[in-house]
A = this chain, B = another copy of it.
Amino acid sequence: MGTRDRIIDAAEQAIHEYGIAGATTKRIAQRASCSEALLYKHFAGKEELFLAVLLERMPALGPALTKLRLGVGERDLRAGLVEFTRTALEFYTRAAAVAGGVLGDPPLMAGFRSMLAKNDLGPHLPVLALAEILRAERQAGRIGPGLDPGAAASLLMGACFHRANLAHFVDLPDDDATWAASIVDTLFRR
């Protein structure tokens, strides 16, 4: 395992244990058994390091979107959407503490925001990718014409993101599988 990967792992563990505010570069370097100077050779700052944690350690959404895209017009649509909903929920559950921590730290947030803008990245991209897939499904005739693909993508991803956040604050009464099926059945009803 290379130094870069050790540092990303150490950052993920430190965030989990201490939160974003407590996940200092000193603690992360110690845990990765390297110097802070070496950490800064791999990452310009905490923003870049936390982005790497989000993109490289929580890679579930990309493959799940690809799977949906490859099944357009062919694979069982309801089953595919329910599976995607559960994957998105798991992804957001893991990502929530990192995203929340960044959001709750104004100087870190400012740096994070400008880094995303400079690199044309952002947490809105999976919503746009899902909208494209739903547009293709509508063209294939498997989704009704009354459903706006962009709005449906916002609704589905938003429900997953919100539930992932809620579950950190309270014990939710219903289980994830039942919830995911009811979300898909309500949103894509014809």
Contact = CB atoms under 8 A, between A and B. Distances in A.
A56 interface: no
B123 A166 contact: yes
Interface string A110-147: 00110011000011100100000000000000001011
A28 to B, nearest CB: 15
A162 B88 CA distance: 13
A158 interface: yes
A31 interface: no
A40 interface: no
Contacts of A160: 158
Top 6 closest pairs, chain A to chain B, by CB:
A101-B104, A100-B103, A21-B21, A158-B162, A158-B159, A100-B100
